[in-house]
Amino acid sequence: MRTDTGQIVHLADYRPTDFVLERVDLTFELDPTNTKVDARLIFHRREGVDLSAPLVLDGDELTLSGLLLDQNEVPAAQYDVTPESLTIRDLPAESPFEITVTTYINPEANSQLMGLYRTNGIYCTQCEAEGFRRISYFPDRPDVLAPYTITIIGDKAANPVMLSNGNFLGGAGYDEGRAFAAWFDPHPKPSYLFALVAGDLGVVEDTFVTMSEREVTLKIYVEHGKEARAAYAMDALKRSMKWDEERFGREYDLDIFMIVAVSDFNMGAMENKGLNVFNDKYVLADPEIATDQDYANIEAIIAHEYFHNWTGNRITCRDWFQLCLKEGLTVYRDHEFSADQRSRAVKRIAEVRHLKSEQFPEDAGPLAHPVRPTKYREINNFYTTTVYEKGSEVTRMIATLLGRDDFKAGMDLYFERHDGQAVTVEDFVKSFEDASGRDLTQFSLWYHQAGTPLVTVSSDYDQASGTFKLSLEQMIPATPGQTAKEPMHIPLSFALILDNGSPAVPTKVAGGEVTGDVLHLTERRQSFTFTGVSSRPVLSLNRSFSAPINLHLDQTPADLAHIARHDTDLFARWQALTDLALPNLMHAARDARDGKEITCDPSFVAALLEAAGDETLEPAFRAQALTLPSEADIARELGGNNDPDAIHAGRDAILSEIAKAGTKTFLRLFEDMKVDGAFTPDAASAGKRSLRNTALSYLTYAEGTPARAAAAFASADNMTDLAQALAVLAHRFPDAPETTNALATFLARFDGNALVVDKWFSTQATIPGAGALARVRALMENPRFIATNPNRVRSLIGTFAFGNPTGFNRADGEGYRFLAEQILAIDPRNPQLAARILTSMRSWRSLEPQRADHARAALTTIEQTPTLSTDVRDIVERMLK
Ligand code: 0A1
Ligand code: ZN
């Protein structure tokens, strides 16, 4: 583990390499503890580069065991080497030269899961962002692109499968007991997209015929015996390939596309060229083991990684500051794909819920950073929801500003101009400017200014003149390192809804630009006056969440109820219900804290129940409508001095109120939404299950006994219903014998299937209340909990810290002390995992003073540990700053 303090890298310091890499030829002689790597690299000096310039290659924990220049040993005086770098001097002036670097690495001992490692006896690599330098000394940066030839030599019996990027060249027996396989990837790529997989795996095969009629072989590799569980992933892959051709004109470019599912992986998946490596959680599914959410995640992540083939691989990033160039854009593409495969409105609601619960807190706390940062200490810590999800929202806003045709023209130009290059956010934006003629200078602030803008809006209607005036003000809060902010270009989709529900069509607008249904807010303060509005309209603003902002719009509950009932934009209807719910939930939290009786506005409950019972609305939407803002959402809205126990108690009381008032509706939904026949994971059936399980949850509030959930558990014939019933039992009746029984039955039935046992861990880790910590500690002693496996750690410790507000934020601070202890235990093995779980404390400053003091003390304990990884040190120091 690197425990240096980590140099800060600045965007302003970027300069191209002195030497151009022409070709890469790698040979791996696999051995679990002593793999030999020969890297033959052909370079030439870049034009104009000084003769004295040395070649500097990156390393990480490496030992050099051989170095040749044009096949001759390099004398010791000609180079310097440390585990972190190799510097070679006196290189040829003009002609290309060949450097051969030999290293030996130990995959078995690689617990960081970066570089070449072993998982369940399988050799596997992870090179993004800087993992290749743990394999060989190399110019390990994304702007160094070259074609790769790979030869893998390994024990024949142990490695019947030997894979790398590109097309298969050939393979055969090598010598006594060994075999080799050779691969060639003709598309120049950076080292972070390199991959190697070897071992004994099962495979599922299919084909895809591209739009130019080329047949591509598709293979998904999984552990033996799990082949049938890869069927849905294969289907999602074929749909993704088709969609990218139809929507973006992007065709696949190799003879073969492979996916490998592994059980030890730090993230969700990785888009290595032609050889995606996946966390098996995002590949394996069948009705018995996977929930509807699992199916949706698999579909989205398969698509995401596949879409990277163009947005990330064919066109890559010049440097890691440009990460959003590939991630924000590719998330936007996978969101659009899922919206087209499922219900667009319901998908958008889920995206916005996720954005608000994950990205908004990041943007409002000590870890806030721009979508395109200008400095970092540890790049692994910048795979954030800001880069990914806010990055996607910024792309979505470009599409909103430009309209469908110009956005498409801009994307086409980007692909045409930059194919085969490593580029910047500026190059991306320029493509849209050139294609549309629109100046995006001010808009680009979205990439550079951190913090969620707050837009405050008031309106005024004058009956006599038929004018409707809208006054807006934008404020971008200060964030670390950025105190003064410029006003941004905020595209706000809107409608003026008349009494009968139809939209008003004003005759004239003054005060700013309006294109179609988009109002362009560009000034700090700006007023728009609409004329020709015959009666007082209700304003529906930021429809479909056209901009990722906080909106303060003084609307009466009656106006919100009007939108909830009449808006043609389903998203706006959901947003209105949320806006009705929040003040009630905030009030309830305050009343719970003050020991007062909790009440709820009956008109809000009526609006909610009306949506729930409206059969013209799709069930998935009604389920979303009935799902109240989370405890974290309420905490964010309250803004500070937060008491998670009071927030929980207040929300619980409101849920009970709704449950009592709506019992009849929920009973009916519970019956009507039953899905008959064999399980299918399609969106319509998933929506019905979701609404039925939401009704089940409310009914247990109304009935106050575990009987109904226990019966639902007993009769469930798919994992969605089973896991939901189990969660209701565990969360509402943790001590009931029905819950003990269900937990035991669940474990007995799925013992041996680690991905399902993870659900068993997570369900228990999220049982609210102070008793959660003891439960989590006890579960860590369970033999099924494997401390080196990231999925196990995330499902128990991660879920507890991120997803159990009352359990984790215990008033006595024990939750924080536990987390500090765990971070210090995980960090030496796997710094990335430790750093990520530590971010669960990013909102600690909004806690009430006693809890905040405990949190600060726990963070300080971490900070004062001398042997921290750069990853954890970077996070903890930023959180305490
Ligand atoms: N590029 C991947 C995410 C990823 C990043 C870093 C990793 O290293 C541990 C792994 C995966 C994606 O966007 O899916
Ligand atoms: Zn990605």
Integer angstrom CA distances of residue 661 from 43, 665, 704: 74, 9, 14
787/782 Cα distance (integer angstroms): 11
523 annotated active-site: no
Structure tokens at 374: 């200008």
Q: What is the per-residue pLDDT for 94? A: 87
Q: What is the per-residue pLDDT for 2? A: 55
When pLDDT is cut at 50, 70 and 90, the band that residue 797 belongs to is: very high
In this structure, what is the dihedral angle of CA atoms 573, 578, 584, 590, given to the nearest 10 degrees?
-170
- Ligand 1 atom at minimum distance from 326 CA: 13
Residue 532 confidence (pLDDT) above 80: yes
The partner residues of 791 in beta bridges, in order of sequence, read none
Q: Find where tokens 């009007």 sit.
A: 562
Contact 264, 788 (CB under 8 A): yes
- Single out the catalytic residue among 271, 305, 336, 393: 305
Q: Among the bound ligands, name the one nearest to the CA of residue 327.
A: 2
Residue with CA nearest ligand 1 atom 4: 270
Residue with CA nearest ligand 1 atom 3: 270
DSSP string, 589-632: HHHHHTTPPP---HHHHHHHHHHHH-TTS-HHHHHHHHSPPPHH
Residue with CA nearest ligand 1 atom 11: 270
What's the rounded mean pLDDT across residues 395-399? 99
The partner residues of 88 in beta bridges, in order of sequence, read 55, 79
What's the rounded mean pLDDT across residues 226-245? 98
Q: Comparing C-alpha atoms, which of 177, 154, 37 is closest to residue 106?
A: 37
Tally of CA atoms within 13 A in the half-sphere of 300 that contains its CB: 19
Ligand 2 mean position, distance from CA 335 (Å): 12
Q: Find where tokens 């500051």 sit.
A: 321
Ligand 2 mean position, distance from CA 312 (Å): 8
Percent of the chain with pLDDT over 70: 99
Structure tokens at 307: 């879409």
The alpha carbon dihedral of 874, 876, 877, 880 has a sign of positive
Beta strand pairing call for 256-262 and 215-222: parallel
pLDDT, tens digit, for every residue of 592-646?
999 999 999 999 999 999 999 999 999 999 999 999 999 999 999 999 999 999 9
- Who contacts 449 (Cβ-Cβ below 8 Å, separation ≥6)? 370, 476, 482, 485, 486, 488
Residue 56 confidence (pLDDT) above 60: yes
Indicate the DSSP class of residue 582: H
Query: Ligand 1, residues 270, 275, 302: which to mutate, most atoms within 8 A of Cβ?
Result: 270
pLDDT, tens digit, for every residue of 8-35?
999 999 999 999 999 999 999 999 999 9
Structure tokens at 816: 């924080």
Q: Is 152 left (phi over 0), alpha (psi -120 to 50) or beta?
A: beta
358/610 Cα distance (integer angstroms): 30
What's the rounded mean pLDDT across residues 870-877? 98
Helix, strand, coil abundance in the chain, percent, nearest 5 = 45, 20, 35
Q: What is the per-residue pLDDT for 398? A: 98
pTM of the predicted model as reported, rounded to 2 decimal places: 0.98
754/786 Cα distance (integer angstroms): 10
Ligand 1 mean position, distance from CA 417 (Å): 26
222/216 Cα distance (integer angstroms): 20
pLDDT, tens digit, for every residue of 451-468?
999 999 999 999 999 999
List residues near ligand 1 (CB under 6 A): 126, 128, 266-271, 304-305, 327, 383, 832
Ligand 1 mean position, distance from CA 281 (Å): 15
SS3 (DSSP) at 210: coil
Query: Ligand 1, residues 308, 310, 383: which to mutate, most atoms within 8 A of Cβ?
Result: 383
- Who contacts 307 (Cβ-Cβ below 8 Å, separation ≥6)? 240, 244, 250, 330, 333, 334, 337
- Ligand 1 atom at minimum distance from 330 CA: 13
Q: Comparing C-alpha atoms, which of 372, 393, 334, 333 is closest to residue 542?
A: 393
pLDDT, tens digit, for every residue of 142-189?
999 999 999 999 999 999 999 999 999 999 999 999 999 999 999 999
| Adjacency order of strands within the sheet including 202-209 | 202-209, 215-222, 256-262, 275-279, 269-270
Q: Comparing C-alpha atoms, which of 839, 821, 759 is closest to residue 288?
A: 759
Ligand 2 mean position, distance from CA 12 (Å): 25
When pLDDT is cut at 50, 70 and 90, the band that residue 554 belongs to is: confident
- Ligand 1 atom at minimum distance from 269 CA: 14
What is the ipTM metric for this complex? 0.99
When pLDDT is cut at 50, 70 and 90, the band that residue 505 belongs to is: confident
Residue 735 confidence (pLDDT) above 70: yes
Q: Which residues of 819-836 are buried (b: 16+ CB within 10 A; e: fewer)?
A: bbebbbebbbbbbbbbbb
Host H or E run for residue 199: strand 196-199
When pLDDT is cut at 50, 70 and 90, the band that residue 119 belongs to is: very high
Percent of the chain with pLDDT over 90: 98
Q: Is 213 left (phi over 0), alpha (psi -120 to 50) or beta?
A: left
Query: Ligand 1, residues 128, 193, 298: which to mutate, most atoms within 8 A of Cβ?
Result: 128
